[in-house]
Structure 1
Amino acid sequence: MARFVGALKRIAPWAVQNADVAIALLLAVVVGVLGIMPDEIFGDNGATVQTQLVSAATLVILALVATALLRDRARQAPMEAITSDVLGRLPTRLDRLEQIESLVDRTRKALDALQLVRVLGSSQEIAQAHAEAREDTTRWSFKGGTGTYLRAVTLPACVAAARRDKRHLTVRIEVIDPADVEVCETYAHYRRSLSDLPDGTGERWTTDRVRKESYATILAAFWHRQRYGLLDIGVGLSSTMTTFRWDLSSSRLIMTVEDPNRAMTALAGTFYYENCDTELRLSFEQARRVPLDKYRSVQLGDEPTIEEVQDLFERIGVPLPKTYNGRDVVDIARKALRAVDPYGEPLRETAVP
């Protein structure tokens, strides 16, 4: 009995919701039972009575079935209308979705542009930024002290990549004028005031070192120019020092300071990048220009000799101090072509083409 009641409770909600179908089903069962019952049960005219009952019940069942079909169609009609309306508006909504995606993309680019400068907080980040800046660049502008990192890493790597791809490379370098003893002393004093210990190259900063580093940058520019015909390189000598170092490529600007774990970078196309580009151009134009067009006047060997180095500096109007002996000249050549990365990377030797 309990099972019957439980089954009835489960069936009752469905029967209420589908009353016409439930009645039709019940009548179908009754007609089926009447059809198989003996005629004698219905009296003398049992066959006639049985036939009439079955016919009447059948008509009722058909009516209920028809009612159910009409009800289902009435329910489907609004759904079909809704579906048709939704499908009709689908292309418009897809167009709006594409517009939203485009708006989001433009907004992201605008936010990237508004982020003028990003601070780099480790030597690894700075090294990575330099590597990304060198990648496929066709130009490089540098302004700083003496260009030690430029000689050790940037210039050899950029020239090697340009030679590999057989493409043009424009380089502009601005360093301290080695003939201006006063600015060299100022720069050496500034570097010693930050730390009197040897830097990543293993040397302490002195006035003599500042001069030799700048001479080495000039020599390196001539040496690379003689060996790669598609290199357009210029060197400017400044009578003022700066506490910043600017490195600007086709893709980004990197501004470093004496702290090896702090730097700033800005992508090409941003307000800060464009203004720094203008600043470096104007500063280079005001610097004393080294006549690099005379690079053919003295042919430098793969390992420049003392005579070649001395002759080069005489011909370009930047003579070495008379106090310099052969050892000083060799030191300048070593700094030019075998510069040590001041940020701790292994010693780099310039590959002979």
Structure 2
Amino acid sequence: MSRFRSVWSRVAPWAAQNADGAIALVLAVVVGVLGIMPDDMFGKPPEGDKVQQQLVSAATLVILALVATALLRDRVRQAPVEETITSGALADLPARLARLDEIDGLVTGTRKALDALQLVRVLGSRQEIAQAHAEARKDTTRWSFRGGTGTYLRAVTLPECVAAARRVKRHLTVRVEIVDPTNAEVCETYAHYRRSLSDAPDGTGETWTTDRVRKESYATILAAFWYRQRYGLLDIGVGLSATMTTFRWDLSATRLLMTVEDPNRAMTALAGTFFYENCDTELRLSFEQARRVPLEKYKKVPLSDEPTVEEVQDLFERIGVPLPRSYNEHDVVDIARKALRALNPYAG
């Protein structure tokens, strides 16, 4: 008995809440039972058949009425929900989507503004600086340099950019501005500046003297001609400046790097930022004001894979940047070595 009460206590609330469905279910069972019962249960034919058919028809009508009642009740219950959805959330959906578009535009504009405000990022180690240079060289189609003598340019930047461009047969534009090796005053000023920061040899194992500044600049000019003769898609220009700068600018198609004499400190900015665009303009105008080396004469002064002393001397005579008369064969060989086998001054 207790078990029956337990079952009934669980079934009764459901039956009360779904009375119409429960009654329809019971009647459906009754109709099914009536349909399979023997005809003589309701009397002799044909009266028994008639009674059975009347019971089945009546029960069927009651079931249909209950089903209709249940459907109407569900529709009445759903009407407020549908009205709320239709007149509320769905009606406001176009406005909400438009608002989301406005917010997305606002976020995009804010992000661009923040990127522009963050003019530069400071790099604080050799590894970071080397990585930034590698990212700048990757797939670039142009490179602008302005600095002292272009030692790192000859050791790493120029050979790697030319090699990458040659692999995919890509055009490469390079603009280089260095101190004028024929200007003794600027060479001495640059050497004095470098010595004032450190008397110790740099990564090449050499200390900075006026003569070294002169040779390094001559080597950059020689390297420009040598690479121009060996890669037809290289458009390279060299400008000679009568003034020195304490910064070294390296600008590719994707980023700008500004390095100083401290090998663990540098600044970088991505293309498209305010700082990048203004530095690009600065480098262009500075290059236009520098004394131009006639690189267009590269066909008239052929250089061997290992340039000879006579080839190097002839080159500088023909382009109007003559070597000092005091230079002997050893000095010319030293310039050729620096041009094609330059040591990375920031290695180690």
Same-fold status (TM-score > 0.5): yes
1:75 maps to a residue whose letter is R
Q: State the distance in 1 between where 2:166 and 2:243 align.
A: 34
SS of corresponding position for 1:119:
strand
Question: In the alignment, does 2:190 pair up with 1:187?
Answer: yes
Shift of 1:57: 8.7
- 1:340 corresponds to 2:343: yes
Q: What residue is the counterpart of 2:44 in the other structure? A: none
Task: From 262, 281, 288, give the equivalent of 1:278.
Answer: 281
Residue aligning to 1:248 = 251
Q: In structure 2, how many angstroms separate the alpha carbons of the residues matched to 1:163 and 1:58?
A: 89
C-alpha displacement at 1:131, in angstroms? 2.4
1:135 CA drift (Å):
2.8
Letter in structure 1 aligned against 2:121: R
What's 1:11 paired with? 11
Separation in structure 2 between the aligned mates of residue 325 and residue 307 of structure 1, nearest angstrom: 11
Counterpart in the other structure of 2:205: 202
Measured after TM superposition, the shift of residue 29 of structure 1 is 8.4
Give 1:145 shift.
1.0
TM-aligned CA distance change 1:87 to 1:302, over 3 Å = same
Alpha-carbon distance in structure 1 between the residues aligned to 2:312 and 2:329: 10
**2:313, 2:32 → 1: CA distance?**
123
Q: 1:210 to 1:71 in 2, by over 3 A?
A: same
C-alpha spacing 1:73/1:305, structure 2 compared with 1 (3 Å):
same
CA distance in 2, matches of 1:124, 1:6: 77
RMSD: 3.9
The one-letter amino acid paired with 2:15 is A
Whichever residue aligns with residue 7 of structure 2, its letter is: A
Cα distance change of structure 1 residues 13 and 200 upon mapping to structure 2, 3 Å threshold: farther
Counterpart AA for 2:327: Y
Q: Could you tell me how far apart the structure 2 residues matched to 1:164 and 1:181 are?
A: 40
Correspondence 1:162 to 2:145:
no
Residue identity in the other structure for 1:6: S
- Give how far 1:220 is off: 0.8
**1:319, 1:144 → 2: CA distance?**
22
Match of 1:306 among 306, 309, 326: 309
Shift of residue 66, structure 1, vs aligned partner: 4.0
Q: In percent, how many aligned pairs have the same letter?
A: 78
Could you tell me how far 1:199 is from its partner in structure 2?
1.8
Q: TM-score, normalised by structure 1?
A: 0.79
Residues 173, 60 of structure 1: alpha-carbon distance in 2 compared, 3 angstrom cutoff = closer
Q: What is the correspondence of 1:215-230 to structure 2 with a 5 Å cutoff?
A: 215-230=218-233
The alignment of Structure 1 onto Structure 2 pairs a total of residues equal to 337
Partners of 2:187 and 2:328 in 1: CA distance: 20
Partner of 1:319: 322
Aligned partner of 1:268 in structure 2 is 271
Task: Describe the SS at the equivalent of 1:204.
Answer: coil
Unaligned 5+ segments in structure 2 are: 42-53
- Could you tell me how far apart the structure 2 residues matched to 1:59 and 1:161 are? 88
Following superposition, the deviation at residue 313 of structure 1 comes to: 1.7
Structure 1 residue 303, shift from structure 2 partner: 0.8
Structure 2 residue matching 1:322: 3-state secondary structure: coil
In structure 2, the residue matched to 1:69 is 71
- TM-score, normalised to structure 2, is 0.80
1:335 alignment partner, SS class: helix
Structure 1 residues 262 and 60: CA distance shift in structure 2, 3 A: same
Aligned with 2:299: secondary structure?
coil
Letter in 1 for 2:225: F
